[in-house]
Every structure is written in structure tokens, then in C-alpha cells.
Amino acid sequence: MPIAPPAAPPWRETALVAALAGFAALRVACFAGAFPFFANVDEQKHVDMVLKYADGYLPQPGRDAYQPEMGQLLGMYGSPEYLQEPSQPTPPPAWRRTPARMLRVIAASERFLAERANKEAEQPPGYYLAAAAWLRLGRALGFEGARLLYFVRGLGALVAGALVWVAHRLVRDLYRDEALVRWGVPLLAAVFPQDTLFYVTPDVLSPLLGGLCFALSLRLARRPESGALVHAAAGLVLAAALLTKWTNAALWVVAAAASLHVIAHPPPGARRLGWKLALQWTLALAPVALWCERSLRLYGDPTGSALKVARLGWGRKPIADWLDHPIFTPSGLWEFATGLIPTFWRGELAWHRSDLALPAMDALYTASTLLLLVLALAGLRGREPGRFLAEGLATVAVAVATGLLVLLSLAFVFDATTNPTASRPYFVQGRLISGVLLPFLLVYVRGLEVATARLPPRAARTLGWGAVVALALAVSISELVLAWPVFASEYNAFHLP
């Protein structure tokens, strides 16, 4: 039985959470400034979409060409260091070259983009609308050129800080007497090394929107008497999450499970429960239905993804052939797991054609994740109902999100030139399911608590906290070591004229 820690004054708890949130925001801001434009994970496409939406764009056929200013931005500020061989000398940034050479570089970039369509042009608008509003604020503040681009990246720092607050609110009351979960989850949220927060991409919003979806769904499952405003907020956040990234559908499964739990266990004297649930799901479904209807009318596809799939060179696989996939073999399943788990933790940024990854840390991420998730699942037995519900829904979120990537891996045919490839036909891009980051951290830290549960209380606390702090330090140090060469880049925010 865990021993409840002495109650801390509310102001002290608030100050500690604020410090963690501030650290998270500052950390993300520093790394976002260190990485030059344009990151290897299609950042130029997403910047172009933000510019489009800032100019009032809505997807429609024939409007997928790059914005005119993208050629200049790519030529002026684009770094070759992501895809350049380590042995190749890095040319100086365009702004340090002679005017004639700078113009030639810009002209070459404009020709390069003029021959291409933006594969993201038909994708859902959630992130692009938010980032476009943020960009317009930056313009109003006087930012332009590279400084405006880094201002757009700054949205990730705000997300990182807000994510810590949401993590704390998620576990604050339910785990008041389990300090390891109550503080371990916000601490790991503050240092979590997923690098999508460092560059311009729709995945930036997924951890925060997913965390809000999960927290609100859990609250409504535990306190169905909550008012109509909470139900409305839950519905709107669900819509925003799905219209930011289709793979955030995992959060919809969690919300549906929470609603079914309430329907199956209605609280005594609950008033107008059916009306509030109807309000929640109407507000969730209506925006998504309108967007899907528009995409179906314009592109013949409710998600707007068919054209992107064709441009990526993927083929559709008949459902009858889905079972003929290596993921159904032990070696294939292991390859999928060991590919997905590290990228879920650290992301996919590369530098000089090498992933920013340490084999030892990837092994730690994989081993600890598999072990602690199993322990957390085993630890559900006999849990108090509120915590059983929280950890059960969190487990569902992680399982469904992983299942979605399995389904995507089964549904397409790849070749040697695509990503994924024919020889490695797995969707192992962890950023695609970063919407379940907070549910994952809840299950992960709970698994660590289960691992130490049979020890004497003092030893359990020491070992549990030692493991969390050691992991936080290892994550932070490895992240800094990996990115240290990036800070020296002449193309980044710290070297702008």
C-alpha cells in the first residue's frame, strides 16, 4: 500500500508545475532554434501549407502548387545539412554569398518547386489554421523571413508548456496518494524527446490535443454529472484532434468507450445526461462530417488522402491479401515494434543522412516500454475503480493507435523507392500517433510503480523515483549530445544576420 506524501501547499505545487512547464517550453524553443530550415521530415511542405492558409487558402483541385514566396524561403534559408553526406563541405548560407550567387540559389529553388505539387494540399486543416493565425500574429509583430519561420516553430514551445499542465491536471486528483504517478507523468512530459515539436508539422498539436481529449473523456466517464460546457469542450477538442491528424482517431475510440461506460453505469439522479452526450458527439461529428463531405465532393475521397497516396507511389492492397504480410511473423512483429517504439520516443530528424539516435537509448526505449506496459496491464487487477478506468482507457488509447499503424501497414503496397519500402513495409513513424503521448506516459509510469510494488515502501519509493529521474536525465543528456553538432550550424536561428 503506497504511503501518502505530506500535503504540499497549493502554491508550491503550482509553482513546481509552472517551473516544469517553463522548462519544457524553453527546451523546445532552444532546439527549434538550433535546427535550421527545412527539416528532413517534409517541413517545406508544411511551411507552404501554413503560408497558404494565412492567405485564405482552402483545398480544391488545381491549387496544390507551392506559394511563390516558398522558392525564396527555400533558397535563402534552406540548409543542405540534413541530406548532405558528412564528407561533403557545407556551402555558406545564401545570405552570406554575393548577391549574384544568392539570386542563382533562389532561382534554382524556385525552379525546383515550380515542377512539383504539394502532397499535403488536401490534408485536414486543423494545424494549418492554428499555425496560420500564429504566423499572422508574427507578421503583425514585425517578423519576416527566417525570423518569421522560427516564430511559427515557436508554437511547439507553447504546446510543450501546455502539455505539462494538462499532464498534471490529468493525474493531480486521481493519484494524490501515488506520488510517483502524480509527478512522474508531468516530469517525463517535460523532457520527452519527441522532436516533432522542433519543426513545422501538423504533428505539433497532436500531443496536446490528444492529452486534452483523453483528460476530458476520463473526466466525463468519472463525473458524468459535469455540465454542458465540459461536454461541449470534449466534443470540440475531439473534432480538432481528428481534423489535425487522421491517426488521432484512436482518441475517438477512447471517447466512445468513456461515453458507453457512462451509459452502462448512469449515476444516480443524473440530469439531462442523454442531452449532454448528444451535444458532445454532435459537436465532435459535425465539423468532421462537413470537412469529409467537402473532400468527397471535390476529390472523390472523404479524407482527401487518395491523391497523396497516389503521389507517394503507394498501391492499394486487396483486403484478401492483408494477411500475407511479414508483421504476422515473429521477426516481422519484432521489426515493427523495434522500429515504432524508438521513433515514438525520439522522432525522425536526421543530420548528414544519419538518424539522430543512439542505439543504447533506442534499446532502453524499446525494452522499458514493452516491459512496463505489460506490467501496467497486469497491475489493473484489483485497482480502485477510478484508477482502473483511467489506466484501462489509457491502455486502449495506446493499443488502438498502434493498431491503426498496423492497419496502414497492411493496406498498401510499397516498392523500393517509397517510404515505407517493400523490404520494410511497416508504418513505424511514431509521430503519427503522438496524440496518445499522455495516455502512454500514464501507463508507462504506472508500470514502473507496479514493478516496485512488492518492495518495502521506502525501497519502492527510492527505486521508483531513482528510475524516473535517471530516465529523465538520460533522455535530456542524450538529446543534447545528439543535437550538439546542430547548434553549430551556420544556417540556424543563432547565426542569422
pLDDT in tens, 434-481: 999 999 999 999 999 999 998 998 998 999 999 999 999 999 999 999
Task: Give the per-residue pLDDT at 115.
Answer: 86
pLDDT digits (tens, 9 = 90+) for 369-407: 999 999 999 999 989 999 999 999 999 999 999 999 999
CA 380 from centroid of its chain's CA atoms: 26
- Is residue 303 within 8 A of residue 295, CB to CB? The reply is yes
Phi, psi (degrees; rounded to nearest 5) at 253: -65, -40
Question: Could you say which DSSP state residue 433 is in?
Answer: G
What is the predicted pLDDT for the residue at 252?
Answer: 97
The tens digit of pLDDT for each residue in 34-46 reads: 999 999 999 999 9
* Predicted pLDDT at 3: 47
For cell 489509457, name the residue: 394
How confident is the model over 83-132, as pLDDT tens digits? 999 888 899 998 888 888 889 989 999 899 988 899 998 899 999 999 99
Alpha-carbon separation of residue 206 from 71, 76, 306, 432 (angstroms): 29, 30, 22, 9
What is residue 54's predicted lDDT score, i.e. its pLDDT? Answer: 95
The pLDDT value recorded for residue 173 is 87
Separation CA 240–CA 22 (nearest Å): 25
φ/ψ of residue 402, rounded to 5:
-65, -40
The C-alpha angle 106, 111, 114, rounded to 5 degrees, equals: 120
33 Cβ neighbours under 8 A, 6+ residues apart:
150, 153, 492, 493, 494
Tens-digit pLDDT profile for residues 319-356: 999 999 999 999 999 999 999 999 999 999 999 999 99
Q: From CA 342, how far away is CA 327, in angstroms rounded?
A: 18
| pLDDT band of 4, cuts 50, 70, 90 | very low
**What is residue 269's predicted lDDT score, i.e. its pLDDT?**
63
| Contacting residues for 418 by C-beta, under 8 A, at least 6 apart | 312, 313, 314
**pLDDT tens, position by position, 217-231:** 999 999 988 899 999
- Under 8 Å between Cβ of 129 and 56: no
DSSP letter string over 208-240?
HHHHHHHHHHHHHHH-TT--HHHHHHHHHHHHH
> Are residues 36 and 81 in contact, defined by beta-carbon separation less than 8 angstroms?
yes
Query: Does residue 193 sit in helix, strand or coil?
Result: coil
Residue 9 has pLDDT above 70, yes or no: no
* Dihedral over alpha carbons 435, 438, 444, 446 (to 10 degrees): -150
**Domain spans of the chain, in order of start:** 35-495
Condensed to tens digits (0 to 9), the pLDDT of residues 410-434 reads: 999 998 888 899 889 999 999 999 9
CB 122 within 8 A of CB 307: yes
Q: Give the three-state DSSP class for 358.
A: coil
Q: What's the mean per-residue pLDDT of the chain?
A: 93
pLDDT at 8 over 70: no
Asked if pLDDT for residue 196 goes beyond 60, the answer is yes
**Helix, strand, coil % over all residues of the chain, rounded to 5:** 70, 0, 30
* Cα angle: 336, vertex 338, 339; to 5 degrees: 65
* Residues 229 and 416: beta-carbon distance below 8 Å: no
Q: CA-to-CA distance for 329 and 325, rounded, in angstroms?
A: 8
C-alpha 211/C-alpha 272 separation (Å) is: 27
* Other residues' Cβ atoms within 10 Å of the Cβ of residue 204: 30
Q: Is residue 478 a contact partner of residue 365, using CB atoms and an 8 Å limit? A: no
* pLDDT at residue 407 in the model: 96
**pLDDT of 164-186, one tens digit each?**
999 999 999 899 999 999 999 99
Beta-carbon contacts of 367 under 8 Å, excluding residues fewer than 6 positions away, are: none
Q: Do residues 347 and 196 make contact, with C-beta atoms less than 8 angstroms apart?
A: yes
Angle at 26 (CA atoms; ends 206, 470), nearest 5 degrees: 85
Tens-digit pLDDT profile for residues 14-24:
999 999 999 99
Give the pLDDT confidence score for residue 312 in this predicted structure: 85
**What is residue 126's predicted lDDT score, i.e. its pLDDT?**
96
Residue with cell 498496423: 406
pLDDT score for 59? 86
